[in-house]
Structure 1
């Protein structure tokens, strides 16, 4: 009997998985509880893959031999509960793709900085002459690339949700940037569950594989002592510590691997700020482990243009800098953003709260922020925490209103920073939509 694979979710990862499963000869069906974008419907139709939208029809799903679940669908969704009860295996698109490729996998996770590090690593490898695909949360779905556009190397950004349903997949190079509380609503508000998800990036690694991580992250440190990873360890830190493979000394970036030493003046790095130094070190170590030439690493680290919606400079109007950091969907991302701005700040916060603890940014807000603008449907939790701690607080119900209030509040020499700490689903389609609206409103000032 032909094995039946059902895909839940018809976005980038789901459609990619459906195409791969179809090409590999399975009986495939795709179901999405919401509506499917026209470009994905076209792809499904091209490969003659049956699909449904706006519902999950149990009898068409529960007869699956295996289910590929999109990362956005939580385990508490009724259809997932039903599949678990009857012990149908549920895997991720990355897990499925991994079965059909022997390519080298460079995988990146962490609560913050993963998109920048993924894009930077991909940029260095590409400039270094490798045929490399970009996948995971960025680029095209890994499954689709494995199916129709294979590459010998892939750089993959992995969220905890993607890692949750990965079992046999192996990263040849795993990068773990940091771990701070995020998405706790998906992990029964248990931080350790989230930590365990992040550490799945080390699954199946052997001594031949590399594990690159931030040496000074207390959570990572504790877990490494507990888990004793088999992979070869490549810790990085801001300054030299015993055992560290990437660090800075006398304003120079230094990376040491079995493929030799790489050095470069810190001032030449394209990305500024301590958090970006870590991203550059992690990407640089990965490139050196893959054995990219030093001059190519140097060139790529100095000409990288950054990631849209992540500390993206939009405009300077009447002496005020406007920065779009819409990708900051958790408190720690906002902390990094506040740290990297050296002026007084008008901060735009708010959205769908994921169980946030704002005490992490409290000291920086008190020190640097003179005006807070809350942009959300329900700002009660923000008011409870911040009222009385900042000179001025205002509420906005739209991006236009938020930008107008920021413009009125900002003094010459200030920075208006959109770094929301929250998901965007209350007023926007996604963080990209939120960032685009911010940029458009700023440009219309």
Structure 2
């Protein structure tokens, strides 16, 4: 009986434990922190051995295979010992994909992957396909492989999940864009992070597809210097493409092997240039999987966006409050500020991952009337922006940030929470940060 050790008892860890047990592995789950009650109950009910608050090496180093939570870096001593012992260390995605014959659509990128995953799933579901969504979003992929008989999976994949694959091969891969993020996990080398994202295609053949942003320099230069076996389907807002999707006169045109469809962008469910790109990527998948044009058009128009991603919260005294808490890097905030068409009070800050704010300067100069810094350490934000705006203040409380914004904003303005930083200095997660923002707005 092979021994499967799982490090981290979150959604993916517990899902893998259940699938592993079903497939005949001897399973042991270890979490250095505390395990949530709902996950503990599942482990106990299924008679799976577990521990919390520690990693007992004697029970871990003898594993045949280890499924490591994406949050645990490779440089941790325990992981280094496993590597030295030649133990196979994989991600949930790698483990679960061995046990399904479903068609897999894998979606990665620095930004836009959640929206693109949800939109793709929405279109395919409306088109009548038996499709589930997992990976970085929703229910555990492993648990869904165990429980249900899906024919298609849409998986949102982080670079950390892709670092833990060996044979995983999506039939359709999407790279939405690549901008510097998580560089602390990649020795502060952008090229290491880019290579990590491109692991999504490493097992693909010419019968598989890579859908990607042809306007993205990091992606296009990687493709020029590395051979990729996949059939390439680019999308672009600026170039006319023979294969793939492009924008012409406010129409999305998608061509795959001489078959073309044309859709207007006039009624897209989500605003902003970046969402035209997300729609192109999702529509290209739909076209590949032969979803009817009528269904596709409807699905592009009636989709509800992701929570905490440019989410309109309330309009109070003709001021629109917008929650973009999911913007945990500068590139995501770039999209948010780019789509602001009115004067904006911008709430920014948190744990800075080595941010370079230069690309935001044009938008700040043009549209931002005040900046509210919401972080433990706001020194860098002050040094960067204090000469660009009339008002820049700092606070450590969301409720206070919203009250200050309420005082500054005038009719016709936006108040935008788009932090460009991780949330862990003041909040549990970006979701917690977004919910606190929405609660504070509703209390105004």
- For the aligned pair, the TM-score class normalised by the smaller chain equals over 0.9
1:259 is displaced (CA, Å) by: 7.8
Distance (Å, rounded) in 2 between the aligned partners of 1:40 and 1:149: 20
The answer (yes or no) to whether the contact 1:345–1:370 under 8 Å persists in 2 is: yes
Q: Secondary structure at the match of 1:268?
A: coil
Q: Secondary structure at the match of 2:355?
A: coil
The answer (yes or no) to whether the contact 2:106–2:200 under 8 Å persists in 1 is: yes
TM-score, reference length from structure 2: 0.98
Q: Secondary structure at the match of 2:266?
A: helix
Q: Specify the alignment match of 2:410 in structure 1.
A: 411
The structure-2 alpha-carbon separation of the partners of 1:350 and 1:157, relative to structure 1 and needing over 3 Å to count, comes to same
Give the 5 Å matches for 1:108-123: 108-123=107-122
Q: Secondary structure at the match of 2:237?
A: strand
Unaligned runs of 5+ in 1: none
Q: Specify the alignment match of 1:439 in structure 2.
A: 438
Give the 5 Å matches for 1:378-389: 378-389=377-388
Q: Secondary structure at the match of 1:267?
A: coil
Q: Secondary structure at the match of 1:5?
A: strand
The reply on whether 1:363 has 2:346 as its aligned counterpart is no
Q: Specify the alignment match of 1:430 in structure 2.
A: 429
Distance (Å, rounded) in 2 between the aligned partners of 1:276 and 1:41: 39
The reply on whether 1:221 has 2:244 as its aligned counterpart is no
Distance (Å, rounded) in 1 between the aligned partners of 2:149 and 2:36: 24
Distance (Å, rounded) in 2 between the aligned partners of 1:285 and 1:141: 25
1:244 is displaced (CA, Å) by: 4.4
Q: Secondary structure at the match of 1:144?
A: helix
Distance (Å, rounded) in 2 between the aligned partners of 1:319 and 1:367: 21
After superposition, give the CA deviation of every residue in 1:78-128 in whole Å (9 maximum; x if it has no partner). 221221222211100000001111110001011110000000000000000
1:240 is displaced (CA, Å) by: 4.3
Give the 5 Å matches for 1:182-261: 182-258=181-257, 260-261=259-260
What number of residue pairs does the alignment pair up? 444
Give the 5 Å matches for 1:14-33: 14-33=13-32
Unaligned runs of 5+ in 2: none
Distance (Å, rounded) in 1 between the aligned partners of 2:238 and 2:128: 31
Distance (Å, rounded) in 1 between the aligned partners of 2:242 and 2:175: 17
Distance (Å, rounded) in 2 between the aligned partners of 1:365 and 1:14: 42
The reply on whether 1:85 has 2:84 as its aligned counterpart is yes
C-alpha RMSD of matched pairs (Å)? 1.2
The answer (yes or no) to whether the contact 1:11–1:40 under 8 Å persists in 2 is: yes
Q: Secondary structure at the match of 2:105?
A: strand
The answer (yes or no) to whether the contact 1:235–1:243 under 8 Å persists in 2 is: no
After superposition, give the CA deviation of every residue in 1:189-221 in whole Å (9 maximum; x if it has no partner). 010110000000101111111110011111111
After superposition, give the CA deviation of every residue in 1:309-368 in whole Å (9 maximum; x if it has no partner). 000000111111100000000000000000011011111111111121111212211221
Q: Specify the alignment match of 1:165 in structure 2.
A: 164
Deviates more, 1:371-380 or 1:258-267: 258-267
Distance (Å, rounded) in 2 between the aligned partners of 1:421 and 1:34: 27
Q: Specify the alignment match of 2:299 in structure 1.
A: 300
Runs ≥4 residues deviating over 4 A:
none
1:388 is displaced (CA, Å) by: 2.1
Q: Specify the alignment match of 1:394 in structure 2.
A: 393
The answer (yes or no) to whether the contact 2:215–2:238 under 8 Å persists in 1 is: no
Distance (Å, rounded) in 1 between the aligned partners of 2:131 and 2:274: 25
Q: Secondary structure at the match of 1:67?
A: strand
Distance (Å, rounded) in 1 between the aligned partners of 2:183 and 2:366: 28
TM-score, reference length from structure 1: 0.98
The answer (yes or no) to whether the contact 1:118–1:156 under 8 Å persists in 2 is: yes
The answer (yes or no) to whether the contact 1:259–1:291 under 8 Å persists in 2 is: no
1:27 is displaced (CA, Å) by: 0.8
The structure-2 alpha-carbon separation of the partners of 1:259 and 1:296, relative to structure 1 and needing over 3 Å to count, comes to farther
Q: Secondary structure at the match of 1:236?
A: strand
Q: Specify the alignment match of 2:98 in structure 1.
A: 99
The answer (yes or no) to whether the contact 1:247–1:254 under 8 Å persists in 2 is: yes
Distance (Å, rounded) in 1 between the aligned partners of 2:76 and 2:376: 24
Q: Secondary structure at the match of 2:41?
A: helix
The answer (yes or no) to whether the contact 2:311–2:322 under 8 Å persists in 1 is: yes
Q: Secondary structure at the match of 2:393?
A: strand
